[in-house]
Homo-oligomer: A and B are copies of this chain.
Amino acid sequence: MYDVARLAGVSQPTVSRVLSQSEDVSQISKETRRRVLAAVEQLGYRPNAVARSLRTQKTRTIALLLADLSNGFYHPIARAVQKIAREHDYEVLISSSDHLHENEIHFCEIVLSRGIDGVLMAPQRLTMEELSHYVSQTNIPFVALGEHVDHPNIDIVFVDDEKATYETTRWLIEERGHRRIGYFGVPPFLPPGPGRTRGFLRAMEEAGLSVNPNHMQEGDFTLESGKQAARALLATGGNLPTALMVINDLMAIGAILTLQEAGLRVPDDIAVVGFDDIPEATIVRPALTTIAQDAYDIGQKMATALFERIENPDIGERRVYESTYKLIPRQSA
């Protein structure tokens, strides 16, 4: 910057003002501005973002923690966040926890030490104490995905998982006439497991239907775990359910593949319903009936909420945004 200043015949602070203050705020003469910009151009000067960050205490970077980069559900979120961030002239540091506690902790440490300006996260294994611990050490805004995050300083965006699975289970019962319905979920410590499971069980109970414990299997959101769950179901040897609610599309697809391999017809022998509506849902045959989430909308809501707080730090209390879902009947149920 000194070199630019010398070439333009002004002082370093003047160059700084030309480069970092908006035209109307600064009191730089037109002529000076022109000379400075010409010098910048001539030298190919580029401001050093690190130095700028140190002085302003802003990095113009937000961090985004996803649960699984390979799960297509998260891609529109990342895309929406990137887009909005770019509109605000911010960069996004993307990280994938792969559902691991250790990675979520690492993410938080990075956020605190790197001077990130705001955080978007889909936390799964972090306890509320841990979250509080980190949030309390900083003034930057946090926005999380999921109803389970309940902290006074964290805005959330959520989808009513319980209602979604409840309604869909009822749909399976009332519209499709199923009475033996199974459920593939995840262990209760993995959001949004509990909510979805609750919705399923409530619908079954209200309909006066019992659930065979053998028909409830657990996985970890991956395709492979959906296959395993289906294998476990088949291995029980007992009579099979006529329909299966699965906690997400990837597992649902895994289940379909394995069931078909075992000679079962979907949906004739077993109907399968997923959750998310990822691109793969239209690739499997039969195409997957699923509860669609609007991931792009979720990403937009999260990013918008975050930047509102970044631009106006004293917005006040926790805000809650709900994003919609919608049952998409295809061929698998």
Contacts and interface: CB of A to CB of B under 8 A. Distances in A.
B50 A115 contact: yes
Contacts of A110: 91
Interface string A50-69: 11011000010000000001
Nearest to A138: B46
Nearest to A279: B223
A72 interface: yes
Contact of A50 (B53, B70, B75): B53
Interface in A11-58: 44, 46-51, 53-54
A60 to B, nearest CB: 9
B44 A50 contact: no
Interface in A92-118: 93-96, 106, 109-110, 112-115
B113 A47 contact: yes
Interface residues of A, number: 40
Most buried by B among A46, A82, A114: A114
Given A279-B223, A283-B284, A284-B283, A54 B50 contact: yes
Interface string A267-303: 0000000000001101111000000000000000000
A86 B280 CA distance: 31
A96 B82 contact: yes
A46 B112 CA distance: 8
A91 B114 contact: yes
A8 interface: no
A326 interface: no
A257 interface: yes
Given A69-B79, A93-B93, A113 B46 contact: yes
A113 B280 contact: no
Nearest to A59: B50
Given A82-B96, A93-B93, A114 B49 contact: yes
Contact of A280 (B51, B94, B112, B283): B283
Contacts of A283: 223, 253, 257, 280, 283-284
13 contacts: A46-B109, A46-B137, A47-B113, A49-B114, A50-B115, A69-B78, A69-B79, A70-B72, A70-B79, A70-B279, A79-B96, A91-B110, A279-B280
